[in-house]
Amino acid sequence: MNFTTDRLRSLVRKWQTLIEAHVDVKTTDNYTLRLFCIGFTKRRPNQVKRTCYAQSSQIRQIRRKMREIMTAQATSCDLKELVQKFIPEVIGKEIEKATSSIYPLQNVFIRKVKILKAPKFDLGKLME
C-alpha cells in the first residue's frame, strides 16, 4: 500500500514542519510490516505568527507517540483488520488526537506499508 506521488506532493507546504516516523510491527497472523507515517504541524487557534515550526524536542516526542500508536494498533489485529483501519484513516486520527497536547497536527496519514515477511503458506488453514 502506498500514497500516490501527487497526493504526497500536494500535502507538503512551506511554513510548517513535516514529521515522519516508521516502525516495524508483527500482526497477530505473523505478518511483519513496516508502517510509515507522515504528519504536518498546524497553526494554533488565535496564533498571529504565519509559521508553525515545532521545536526538535517536540518533534521527537511526536515521533515517539506516532510509533507507540502504530505499534499498539498493528500488533492487536491481523492483516485484514489492519487494512480495514487504513481505509477510514483511524490510526492517523488517533495520532492527531494524542499529539495535540504536544503540538497540533494536520494531515496525519499512514503513507506507506511494506510487507517485510509473510508467514509460511499453510494449505490446511486454507481448506477451513
User: For residue 125, is it within any domain?
Assistant: no
Question: For residue 111, what are the contacts with CB-CB under 8 A and spacing of at least 6?
Answer: 2, 3, 8, 36, 37, 38
Render pLDDT for 9-44 as a digit per residue (tens, 0 to 9): 888 999 999 999 999 999 998 899 999 999 999 998
Asked if residue 98 is part of any domain, the answer here is yes
Chain centre distance of CA 42: 17
Q: What is the DSSP string of 13-81?
A: -SSB-EEEEEEEEE-TTS-EEEEEEEEEE-PPTT--SS-BPPPHHHHHHHHHHHHHHHHHHHHTS-HHH
Number of domains, the chain: 1
Q: Which helix (H) or strand (E) holds 115?
A: strand 105-117
Whether 91 maps to a domain, the answer reads yes
Asked, for residue 126, whether it belongs to a domain, the answer is no
In a domain, 13, yes or no: yes
Q: Say if 127 falls within a structural domain.
A: no
- 106 close to 89: Cβ distance less than 8 angstroms: no
**pTM given for the model:** 0.86
Window from 25-29, 53-57, 122-126 with minimum mean pLDDT: 122-126
- CATH number of the domain within which 34 lies: 3.30.479.30
The residue segments making up the domain with residue 37 are 5-120
Residue 128 covered by a domain? no
Q: What is the pLDDT of residues 82-103, one digit of tens each?
A: 889 888 889 999 999 999 999 9
Question: Can you give the length of the chain in residues?
Answer: 128
| Assigned domain for 31 exists | yes
Integer Cα distance of 79 and 98 in angstroms: 24
